[in-house]
Amino acid sequence: MRAIQQAEWGGTETMALVETEAPEPVFGEVLVKVVAAGVNPVDVYTRQGVAYNRVLDLPFVNGWDVAGVVEQVGYGTTRFQVGDRVLGMPWFPRAAGAYAEYTTAPARHFARMPDELSFAQAAALPLAGLTAWQMLTEVARVEPGQRVLIAGAAGGVGHLAVQIAKARGAHVIGTARAAKHAFLAGLGADETVDHTTTDASAAVRDVDVVIQMFGGESGLKALECLRPGGILVSGQAAWTPGLHERAAELSVRARGYLVDPDAAGLEALTDLVRKGRLTVHIDKEFPLPQAAQAHHLIAQGRTTGKVVLKVAEPT
């Protein structure tokens, strides 16, 4: 099979299109022919060698977002049959090898792909969607009527978090550049803040929940938006020194978070898709050999929605 492989950690020059052996499913696993693979900021950090490398080995095939067709099922697998269209975020943070023509993983790392999504949209949903879903529903436990601030609301995780929070009855405030405010309003955001001209910590107060995907000083400042007892859920807590100490000073809560493979979460997301309450926006698609260009785009930090690799033609 073809795959984008790295022999060392570093820049995009380490990414090479190679021919390698296709994996074989073992008991309880499925072999998926990959049609599309999502590209996420974590892929960039991992390629650079600054994330999850303790559980990854070289040579390495990047990527965790997968949409494709079940090609083979391992012994004892009853969840899917050959020919089923599926999406998933297998193995995270261990290697899933999504930037390739085939991948294997436990059947419960996947869910059936809804007809309402293209393969590109389906590939864009799992990692960002599960991140948003788990942050909002399992950690923050968002309830109807609560005020939720989503930082970077037009990005991959953010644009899905806006919709999930609205589906749960929250009042949603999103930060993004002014040019993206109409996009956010179309997703259901109740208020928007231009983070390039306005300090959200000064403009937004007394929210119940903050969903924060940026670390450093911006993560610390976001704590000031919370009401006493409110909660900030951070995907970058490890890169935000002093987060928990500052939260204690302000009488608020801060929780670090890392997404898990989760079939139940995927099924909740696809149920929202089928009900017309969740859409997946694709910023740009690249063919598999142009994975490096996809990484360059992601690294700029200005995408609207998701970036996807086209791996094969749908069957």
Task: Please give the pLDDT value at position 238.
Answer: 79
For the chain, where are the alpha helices, taking DSSP H only? 41-48, 119-124, 126-133, 156-167, 181-187, 200-203, 217-222, 243-249, 263-274, 291-299
Task: Please give the pLDDT value at position 314.
Answer: 85
**Domain for residue 267, yes or no?**
no
**Domain for residue 146, yes or no?**
yes
| Helix (H/G/I), strand (E/B), else coil: 210 | strand
Beta strands 85-88 and 65-73, pairing class? antiparallel
How many domains are there within the chain? 2
CA distances from 220 to 192, 225, 237, 250 (A): 20, 10, 10, 11
Residues 190 and 233 in one domain: yes
For residue 119, what is the domain's CATH number?
Answer: 3.90.180.10
**Domain for residue 116, yes or no?**
yes
Kindly indicate the confidence band of residue 295, based on its pLDDT and cuts at 50, 70 and 90: very high
Kindly indicate the confidence band of residue 214, based on its pLDDT and cuts at 50, 70 and 90: confident
The number of residues in the chain equals 315
Residues 150 and 240 in one domain: yes
Residue ranges making up the domain that contains 143? 128-256
Rounded to two decimals, the pTM is 0.96
For 59, which DSSP code? S
For residue 222, what is the domain's CATH number?
Answer: 3.40.50.720
Backbone angles phi, psi at 135, to 5 degrees: -60, -45
Is a pLDDT exceeding 80 seen at residue 201? yes
Residues 42 and 142 in one domain: no
Task: Please give the pLDDT value at position 22.
Answer: 96
Residues 249 and 142 in one domain: yes
Residues 10 and 117 in one domain: yes
What's the whole-number mean pLDDT along residues 42-48?
Answer: 95
Is a pLDDT exceeding 80 seen at residue 46? yes
pLDDT digits (tens, 9 = 90+) for 116-156: 999 999 999 999 999 999 999 999 999 999 999 999 999 99
Kindly indicate the confidence band of residue 206, based on its pLDDT and cuts at 50, 70 and 90: very high
Residues 115 and 133 in one domain: no
Q: What span, in angstroms and rounded, lies between the C-alpha atoms of 154 and 156?
A: 7
